[in-house]
């Protein structure tokens, strides 16, 4: 769907550049200039399905998260009056394509794929998980294993570094920009790039010494530690980035506007107390949904896209 071109930029310039010029696909309109698709004025284009389909970003085992999300989906069903079904997606591309085709109505898209979902699938993000005090976000980490002989980012030269997928912020976009700007390191020239497909797979790949190092989201690592999938000392962290926004939640642009409002109500009225949602996401310090805007909260991600020379093609 898109091609990425790495460019070498000064470290300070990465955050100094203005937000990348962002345009949505021509099938959508953005009359109010908020960078997301408007709800169609033609009522015949509105979707009002008997069953709402929800998908969580394919970061980890979908079967695990189908159970984690069930209390919230039950709550959404009560608020909207609709049946709600969890859709286990296997890739970011499949998730975006499902929404673009009208088969996915409500979703959480990971940080890096949010711009592509907004531009190409008519995704309208409005919420994000946050801590009790309203703070939010995660950091990109570059990790290695104890026997790798790697103790600094520079030591990765001549070795293998695992990314997740090209749509992932912490799994590809941010580390690509940081490696180029701060360390003058490019894939193939300075290290071998591999793609694992998911953060948990990258982490387990490092733990099992299948990869020398990997760039991952630390929120995923923390949840894996809390579930005893890995131990705290199973990996060594050699780089930690600034804080980035986490998964954005929203609806497809042409969902019936009344239904969009009810979905938003479901997110902001959900009581996490005593649920599997609380148990799982407290491991990464999250306990509520807060309102966000793509225009404001994803500005830094659009900056990273610009630094990486990312462009999108929705065909």
Domain CATH number, residue 210: 3.40.190.10
Identify whether residues 270 and 297 lie together within a single domain: yes
Residue 52 near residue 80 (C-beta atoms within 8 A): yes
Say yes or no to pLDDT of 5 above 50. no
Say yes or no to pLDDT of 19 above 50. no
State the Cα–Cα distance between residues 35 and 293, nearest whole angstrom: 9
Strand 123-130 and strand 288-291: the pairing is antiparallel
pLDDT confidence of residue 90? 84
- Give residue-wise pLDDT tens across range 159-197: 999 999 988 999 999 999 999 989 999 999 999 999 999
Identify whether residues 251 and 189 lie together within a single domain: no
Give the residue from 197, 226, 244 where a domain finishes.
244
Identify whether residues 110 and 232 lie together within a single domain: no
Q: Single out the residue of 116, 315, 151 nearest to residue 236, CA to CA.
A: 151
Give the residue from 217, 244, 271 where a domain finishes.
244
What integer best gives the mean pLDDT of the chain? 90
Identify whether residues 118 and 144 lie together within a single domain: no
pTM, entire model:
0.80
What is the residue range of 40's domain?
2-135+245-312
State the Cα–Cα distance between residues 94 and 117, nearest whole angstrom: 11
Other C-beta atoms closer than 10 Å to the C-beta of 80 total 19
* Sole residue written with tokens 């984690």: 68
Give the residue from 244, 261, 287 where a domain finishes.
244
Strand 192-195 and strand 160-163: the pairing is parallel
State the Cα–Cα distance between residues 134 and 9, nearest whole angstrom: 33
Class of residue 51 by CB neighbours under 10 A (exposed 0-12, middle 13-18, buried 19+): exposed
As for how many domains the chain has, the answer is 2
Q: Is the dihedral of CA 178, 108, 280, 291 positive or negative?
A: positive
HSE at residue 154, side-chain half, CA atoms within 13 A, is: 2
Say yes or no to pLDDT of 283 above 90. no
Q: Which two tokens stand for residue 140?
A: 């990109």
- Give residue-wise pLDDT tens across range 62-113: 778 899 999 999 999 999 999 999 999 888 889 999 999 999 999 999 999 9
Q: Single out the residue of 204, 232, 219 nearest to residue 139, CA to CA.
A: 219
């Amino acid at each position: 769907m898109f091609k990425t071109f790495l460019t070498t930029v000064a470290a300070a310039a990465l955050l100094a550049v203005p937000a990348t010029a962002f345009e949505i696909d021509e099938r959508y309109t953005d009359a109010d200039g908020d960078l997301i698709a408007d709800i169609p004025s033609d009522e015949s284009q509105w979707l009002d399905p008997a069953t709402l389909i929800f998908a969580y970003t394919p970061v980890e085992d979908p079967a695990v998260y189908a159970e984690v999300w069930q209390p919230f989906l039950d709550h959404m069903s009560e608020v909207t009056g609709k049946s709600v079904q969890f859709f286990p997606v296997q890739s970011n591309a499949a998730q975006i394509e499902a929404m673009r085709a009208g088969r996915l109505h409500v979703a959480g898209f990971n940080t890096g794929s949010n711009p592509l979902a907004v531009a190409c699938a008519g995704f309208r993000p409005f919420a994000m998980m946050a801590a009790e005090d309203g703070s939010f976000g995660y950091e990109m980490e570059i990790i290695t294993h104890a026997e790798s002989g790697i103790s600094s980012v520079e030591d990765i030269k001549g070795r293998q570094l695992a990314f997740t997928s090209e749509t992932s912020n912490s799994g590809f976009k941010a580390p690509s920009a940081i490696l180029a700007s701060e360390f003058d390191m490019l894939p193939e020239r300075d290290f071998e790039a591999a793609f694992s497909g998911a953060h948990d797979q990258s982490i387990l790949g490092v733990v099992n010494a299948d990869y020398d190092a990997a760039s991952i989201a630390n929120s995923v690592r923390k949840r894996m530690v809390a579930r005893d999938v890995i131990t705290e000392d199973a990996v060594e962290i050699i780089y930690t980035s600034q804080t980035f926004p986490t998964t954005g939640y929203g609806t497809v642009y042409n969902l019936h506007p009344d239904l969009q409002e009810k979905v938003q109500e479901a997110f902001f009225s959900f009581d996490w107390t005593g649920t599997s949602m609380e148990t799982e996401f407290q491991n990464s310090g999250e306990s509520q949904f807060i309102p966000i805007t793509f225009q404001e909260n994803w500005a830094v991600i659009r900056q990273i896209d610009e630094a990486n020379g990312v462009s999108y093609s929705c065909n």
